[in-house]
C-alpha cells in the first residue's frame, strides 16, 4: 500500500490572517508551496511584506478588530489582487493570561475583540466569496485545545476559543449544504509568539515553564494539517482537527 502525501492546491486562492508570524506565516508558506495563490493579512507591514515577497503572495495590512467596513475593504483588495478567495484561514488571535480577579480589562477585551469578534468579522467579510467558489471552498477557524481545557489564568482565553468551536459548528450546518467546508483546527503547544504581550509577569513565567515541560511542535506541523485537509476531495470535510505534540496527550 502506498500513501500519496501530495498537497495539490493549484488553482486555489487563499487568505490567511495573522500571517506575519507563527502559525499564520507557516500556513501561508505551506499553501503557497502547494500551488495556491496566497494573500497574507496582518498588522505588521514589514513582516507581511517579507512573507509575501518570499512566497510570491499579496500582502494586505489588516486589523481584524477594526470592524466590518475595514474588512470589507480588505476583502475587496484581495479580490482585486488575486481574484475571489476559496480558502480562508482565520488565524489571527491573542492569548493574554492573568488571574481573572486582577487581569487588566484591556487584556480581557482584547482577547474577545480579536479571537471572537474579529474572527466573526473575518468570516463574514469573505463568506460571499466562498459561496461563489466554483470548486472546493474552505473556511478554517484556528481555535485551541483551550476550548475544552482549563488552566489558571486563562478563563477568558478559553472562553474565546470555546466560542470559536461553537461558531464552527453553527456555520457548518449553514454553509456545508451550500458547498463550503467549515473546519475548526485546534492546536496544542505550538512554537509561536502567542502570549508575548502578556502584562502579568507570573503568567508569563508559568507559560514559559509549561513550554519547557511540554516541547512544542513547530508551526509548520499545524500548517501541514491545514494544507492536508484543504487538499481533500470537495465531498469530504474534516470538520474538527486537533494537532498537538504527542507528549501532550
Catalytic residue ranges: 157
The strand pair at 37-42 and 180-187 is best described as unpaired
> Cα(128)–Cα(157) distance, rounded to whole angstroms?
29
Neighbour-count burial for 65-77, b at 16+ CB within 10 Å, e otherwise: beeeeebeebbeb
Is the alpha carbon torsion for 111, 127, 183, 211 positive or negative? negative
> Cα(35)–Cα(57) distance, rounded to whole angstroms?
11
* Residue 151, all three cell numbers: 488552566
Kind and range of the H or E element at 107? helix 105-111
* Residue 187, all three cell numbers: 492546536
Amino acid at each position: 500500500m502506498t500513501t500519496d502525501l501530495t498537497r495539490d492546491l493549484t488553482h486555489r486562492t487563499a487568505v490567511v490572517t495573522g500571517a506575519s508570524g507563527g502559525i499564520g506565516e507557516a500556513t501561508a508558506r505551506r499553501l503557497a508551496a502547494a500551488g495556491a495563490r496566497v494573500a497574507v493579512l496582518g498588522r505588521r507591514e514589514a513582516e507581511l511584506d517579507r512573507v509575501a515577497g518570499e512566497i510570491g503572495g499579496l500582502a494586505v495590512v489588516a486589523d481584524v478588530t477594526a470592524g466590518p467596513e475595514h474588512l470589507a475593504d480588505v476583502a475587496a483588495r484581495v479580490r482585486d489582487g488575486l481574484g475571489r478567495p476559496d480558502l480562508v484561514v482565520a488565524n489571527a488571535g491573542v492569548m493574554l493570561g492573568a488571574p481573572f480577579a486582577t487581569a487588566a480589562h484591556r487584556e480581557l477585551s482584547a482577547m474577545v475583540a480579536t479571537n471572537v469578534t474579529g474572527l466573526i468579522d473575518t468570516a463574514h467579510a469573505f463568506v460571499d466569496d466562498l459561496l461563489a467558489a466554483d470548486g472546493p471552498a474552505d473556511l478554517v477557524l484556528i481555535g485551541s485545545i483551550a476550548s475544552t481545557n482549563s488552566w489558571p489564568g486563562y478563563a477568558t482565553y478559553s472562553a474565546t476559543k470555546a466560542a470559536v468551536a461553537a461558531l464552527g459548528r453553527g456555520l457548518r450546518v449553514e454553509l456545508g449544504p451550500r458547498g463550503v467546508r467549515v473546519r475548526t483546527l485546534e492546536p496544542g503547544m505550538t512554537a509561536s509568539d502567542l502570549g508575548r504581550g502578556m502584562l502579568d509577569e507570573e503568567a508569563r513565567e508559568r507559560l514559559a515553564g509549561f513550554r519547557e515541560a511540554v516541547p512544542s511542535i513547530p508551526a509548520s506541523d499545524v500548517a501541514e494539517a491545514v494544507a492536508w485537509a484543504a487538499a481533500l476531495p470537495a465531498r469530504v470535510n474534516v470538520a474538527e482537527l486537533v494537532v498537538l505534540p504527542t507528549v501532550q496527550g
